[in-house]
Amino acid sequence: MKILLVSAATPDTFWSFKHVLPFVAKKAAFPPLGLLTVAAMLPREWDLKLIDLNVTRLTDADLVWADYIFVSAMIVQADSARQVIARANSLGKPLVAGGPLFMTGHDQFPEVQHFVLGEAENIMPDLIADMVAGQVKHRYRHEQRPDLSLTPVPRWDLINMSQYALMPLQSSRGCPFNCEFCDIIVMNGRVPRVKSTEQMIRELDSLVDAGWNDSIFIVDDNFIGNKVKVKAFLRELIAWRERRDPAIAFTTEASLNLADDPELLDLMARAGFKKVFVGIETPEEASLTECAKVQNTQRDLIAAVRTIQKAGIEVMGGFIVGFDNDKPNIFERQIKFIQEAGIATAMVGLLTALPGTRLWNRLKEEGRIISQTTGNNLDAVLNFIPKLDREMLIEGYRSLVKRLYTPKAYYARILTFLREYHPRGPQIPRPASDIRAVIKSLWIMGVLTRGRREYWKFLTKILVFHRRAFPEAMTLAITGYHFRRIAAAL
């Protein structure tokens, strides 16, 4: 059996890092972990080919070669997925669609013959048997969420690792919280399911054995959803580092209550975690209560961010405007908070009602849903009727993002962060690509583009006051170039 696995292309968004990838000579941020994992569930004797449309083209020859085409996509990749589906249909090729886009929006794709709706571990045995028998059903769904002990090591051999800036791994699925706007709990549930420590060490070994020795993004819904198990893993991860001595730094996603656990912060720093993405959302307490972001309420948010920064971990923040309880001054409050907290990487989006979420259901009952979502927070498109004036909200949002990513404001946030940052944990050698990236930045950001005066002022301050953190500072400066380009397009 010949299986073509196609990962849809990501448009130019906050997380695509399109404008920073040339600095490090990479084609995409990271490969499609979901498809690589599904590939590992297929019979080893089958002939597999993976096409990631973020790094290569899909040809008619690829489509003609395949007996079946698997396409995976997130909501933001819908346009690309539709093009793949249309091309497969035009050639009469059977196609199976899966991933977040189809799990909550399969009714929007009547042209698709076969769907995998949900996590693949419990579904693939039936799908494989039906493919062999030539009797593939229209939809495959399983009522039980799978035990992650069933999840195999991804098929890293199907990609060219040199094309990617970092590699993804997953240690758990699900989140114990119940934020109204979040579709994670719709797809993966509120009870975190965690891979065993042995599984995770095996996956890490598989990456290193395949030649990877750079950054890894642990793409969990909430890495600290089960603190007892994550602490056990981190202790083993520290021992693994001592055995294998990799030049690997980790990034992940976690809830803000990470700041409440000094032991957990210490273990993460010692294991080599350098960055964590946290959903902070808003400094407006009433809006946090509205969306049931209980882990962020009744606390000093800036103090929590600084606790994490002082532990040697950079905080990347997610923020939202457009809650019912937001006031007209929310834009000024957001920018003041983000600047004061020193959150250089601040992803601000308009509130979006995602299908299947409690927010979607509430707004639908109130008659306020007016369209589907694009899945891109930066689209400045509201898919519901807001309480604030619609045009004021959209224009205020655009202005907020543009102001956040002016060179002056952005470099000021990096400097604020570095004043709180106390590097800890393993000293990780920087790859040669980082050195080349700094050299390129001197020319592109220091000579060719607007904001060069601010760049040189920033670089001078780093060399005078924060020399020890020079690699982190320059990485953030280069990343900011991407964010500035994205913000300018709003």
Buried-state track 165-174, b at ≥16 Cβ within 10 A, e below 16: bbbbbbbbbb
Spatial CA neighbour of 21 closest among 163, 148, 225, 118: 163
What is the model's pLDDT at position 378? Answer: 53
> Which residues contact residue 295 at a Cβ distance below 8 angstroms, ignoring those fewer than 6 apart?
177, 255, 256, 257
pLDDT tens per residue across span 150-170: 999 999 999 999 999 999 999
Distance CA 24, CA 436 (A): 7
End-to-end CA distance of the chain: 45
Other CB atoms within a 10 A radius of the CB of residue 147 amount to 11
What is the model's pLDDT at position 104? Answer: 85
CATH topology of domain 166-420: pyruvate-formate lyase- activating enzyme (3.80.30)
Residue 448 pLDDT more than 70? yes
The answer to whether the CB of 407 falls within 8 A of the CB of 484 is yes
What is the model's pLDDT at position 376? Answer: 52
pLDDT tens per residue across span 291-305: 999 999 999 999 999
Residue 403 pLDDT more than 90? yes
Sign of CA dihedral 131, 133, 134, 138: negative
In 46-192, beta strands by DSSP E: 47-52, 68-72, 95-98, 114-116, 139-140, 167-169, 172-173
CATH topology of domain 2-140: Rossmann fold (3.40.50)
Residue 395 pLDDT more than 60? yes
pLDDT tens per residue across span 165-189: 999 999 999 999 999 999 998 899 9
Q: What is the helix (H) or strand (E) element at residue 179, kind and residue range?
A: none
Share of the chain above pLDDT 70, in %: 98
The answer to whether the CB of 57 falls within 8 A of the CB of 11 is no
pLDDT tens per residue across span 254-275: 999 999 999 999 999 999 999 9
pLDDT band at 19 (very low <50, low <70, confident <90, very high): confident
pLDDT tens per residue across span 306-324: 999 999 999 999 999 999 9
pLDDT band at 430 (very low <50, low <70, confident <90, very high): confident
What is the model's pLDDT at position 380? Answer: 59
Give the phi and the psi of residue 317 in degrees, each rounded to 5: -120, 145
pLDDT tens per residue across span 49-75: 999 999 999 999 999 999 999 999 999
Where are the domains positioned within the chain? 2-140, 166-420, 432-488
Buried-state track 260-273, b at ≥16 Cβ within 10 A, e below 16: eeeebbebbbbbbb
